[in-house]
Chains A and B, each alone.
Chain A
């Protein structure tokens, strides 16, 4: 959500602040998440494990880097090629945000698989997970739009998001390692979007 809130700010120098720019960003985030849920769900059926799980966090972090490092190189040719800011912002959103967002989308269904131990618990776990992830989204939205943009530069906030993702990935890896050393450790899942 932090990246989504900043999306409009990243696109506005090239495509303006019209309503259609917001529309583009939200559309692409929704489509990317939808695809991510689907892929994440499918992956969870094949040998679900903590290593793959941690790779989602780290992968999302890595694929968010172009937003920080190459945003201008991505947006400039699109700006020059497409006059209509609606489609310009739509294509820019695809190139900048689609991949990291879909990877983030894989986390939720995969978390459900890792957390659920018995069938009767599945609803409870899914509910808990939606609770945490949606709460996180709300916090990201509020924090970014109310405070972060006042305190930091856009890229500093993005670096913060990238570091949190890497950190989350490392926490998962670490817990995985501890589990193995303990041999009888419970499967720990750390869900954070």
Chain B
């Protein structure tokens, strides 16, 4: 009995170092050893949103954050970057580190997330990197009307428990296309399970005709990589990954491993209905 008890009290219990109330959810910052994590809605058992290794802050902890950089294979030198969804700020900070002269706009709906990212995850706006507290969709719509273009767009508003349904629709993707040029790349972090996978895939297919589907066996996420024009041939991706690979190693991104994981093969049910502003029950589809 005594032995059992002492075995159970391992030293891996996460210590909560901060709790932030927000309009949208409870935000908790925990620390286990040298790993600090940002969690949304802990009481409902949600997973970590972002983690950071405190004594190796460059390192990206999660697959999906690393996978978000696969778009560099198609657009290796972005001068303007748009990121929807801040989280702990690891994706924007890595971009800022890689491309210090690029203009980076980060859109986050929840000002409490911005506060936590700044106070606990070393996120800072720079001369070139600005955070806008706004909803992604109106921001993109407005940017499109103003004729603004971005070279690299990351859609990462889809994590946690709730999916913003108005950012899953065909009309939204058409608005995203308005801020893209032939050289731009769109990287969308989405779910790889549930019925929503089929609906989402069909919607992206209708909007972009063809896209790279990017999954890793170690991750529950699926990354969609799309552009306006034709996708480049695979050997071009391989060549690009060799050029860029070494530079990305310190972030834990194994870029040279990525080209063979990108596929245009449709592994979804193509008869599923496209999501539109008229029909987008995203959160109801997740359960099945």
Q: Interface residues of B toward A: which range?
A: 20 to 34
**Cα distance, A9 to B137, chains bound together (Å):** 13
B164 interface residue per 8 A CB criterion:
yes
Selected from B134, B145, B284, the residue in CB contact (under 8 A) with A85 is B134
Contact, CB under 8 Å: A85 / B278: no
B268 interface residue per 8 A CB criterion:
no
Selected from B23, B135, B145, B281, the residue in CB contact (under 8 A) with A80 is B145
| Stretch with Cβ within 8 A of A (4 or more), from B32-40, B69-77, B165-173, B236-244 | B165-173
Contact, CB under 8 Å: A15 / B24: no
B277 interface residue per 8 A CB criterion:
yes
Contact, CB under 8 Å: A18 / B145: no
Contact, CB under 8 Å: B284 / A17: no
Provided the pairs A13-B137, A14-B138 are in contact, do residues A150 and B281 lie with their beta carbons within 8 angstroms?
A: yes
Provided the pairs A13-B166, A149-B284 are in contact, do residues A85 and B279 lie with their beta carbons within 8 angstroms?
A: no
B39 to chain A, nearest CB (A): 20
Can you list, as one digit per residue, whether each of A147-172 has a CB less than 8 Å from chain B (1) or not (0)?
Answer: 00110111100000000000000000
B222 interface residue per 8 A CB criterion:
no
Can you list, as one digit per residue, whether each of B239-253 has a CB less than 8 Å from chain A (1) or not (0)?
Answer: 000000000000000
Contact, CB under 8 Å: A153 / B166: no
Selected from B165, B276, B284, the residue in CB contact (under 8 A) with A146 is B284
Minimum CB distance partner of B284 in chain A: A150
Residues of B166-196 at the interface with A, using a CB-CB cut-off of 8 Å, are 166, 169, 171-172
Contacts of A12 in B (CB 8 A): 137, 164-166, 277
A87 interface residue per 8 A CB criterion:
no
Contacts of B166 in A (CB 8 A): 9, 12-13, 16-17
A88 to chain B, nearest CB (A): 8
B136 interface residue per 8 A CB criterion:
yes
Contact, CB under 8 Å: B171 / A16: no
Selected from B135, B141, B172, B276, the residue in CB contact (under 8 A) with A18 is B135
**Cα distance, A16 to B108, chains bound together (Å):** 12
Contact, CB under 8 Å: B135 / A13: no
Contacts of A80 in B (CB 8 A): 145
Selected from A17, A19, A154, the residue in CB contact (under 8 A) with B279 is A154
**Cα distance, A154 to B279, chains bound together (Å):** 7
Contacts of B134 in A (CB 8 A): 16, 85
Contact, CB under 8 Å: A15 / B277: no
Contact, CB under 8 Å: A18 / B109: yes
Provided the pairs A80-B145, A149-B284, A153-B279 are in contact, do residues A19 and B23 lie with their beta carbons within 8 angstroms?
A: yes
**Cα distance, A79 to B142, chains bound together (Å):** 9
Can you list, as one digit per residue, whether each of A6-38 has a CB less than 8 Å from chain B (1) or not (0)?
Answer: 000100111111110000000000000000000
Contact, CB under 8 Å: B135 / A85: yes
Contacts of A155 in B (CB 8 A): 278
Contacts of A150 in B (CB 8 A): 281, 284-285
Provided the pairs A12-B165, A19-B24 are in contact, do residues A149 and B281 lie with their beta carbons within 8 angstroms?
A: yes
Minimum CB distance partner of A10 in chain B: B277
**Cα distance, A100 to B14, chains bound together (Å):** 53
Provided the pairs A79-B141, A146-B284 are in contact, do residues A16 and B277 lie with their beta carbons within 8 angstroms?
A: no
Contacts of A154 in B (CB 8 A): 277-279
Contact, CB under 8 Å: A153 / B278: yes
Residues of A121-154 at the interface with B, using a CB-CB cut-off of 8 Å, are 146, 149-150, 152-154
Selected from B135, B142, B171, B285, the residue in CB contact (under 8 A) with A17 is B135
Contacts of B141 in A (CB 8 A): 13-14, 79
Residues of B74-115 at the interface with A, using a CB-CB cut-off of 8 Å, are 109
Contacts of B135 in A (CB 8 A): 15-18, 85
Minimum CB distance partner of A72 in chain B: B277
Minimum CB distance partner of A15 in chain B: B138
Contacts of B169 in A (CB 8 A): 13
Can you list, as one digit per residue, whether each of A55-92 has a CB less than 8 Å from chain B (1) or not (0)?
Answer: 00000000000000000000000011001010000000
Given A17-B109, A17-B135, 4 additional A-B pairs, CB 8 A: A12-B166, A13-B166, A17-B137, A149-B279
Binding site for B on A (CB under 8 A): 9, 12-19, 79-80, 83, 85, 146, 149-150, 152-155
A-B contact pairs, 14 of them (CB 8 A): A13-B137, A13-B169, A13-B277, A14-B138, A15-B135, A17-B109, A17-B166, A18-B109, A18-B135, A79-B138, A80-B145, A85-B134, A85-B135, A150-B285
Closest 4 CB pairs of A and B: A16-B135, A12-B166, A153-B278, A150-B281
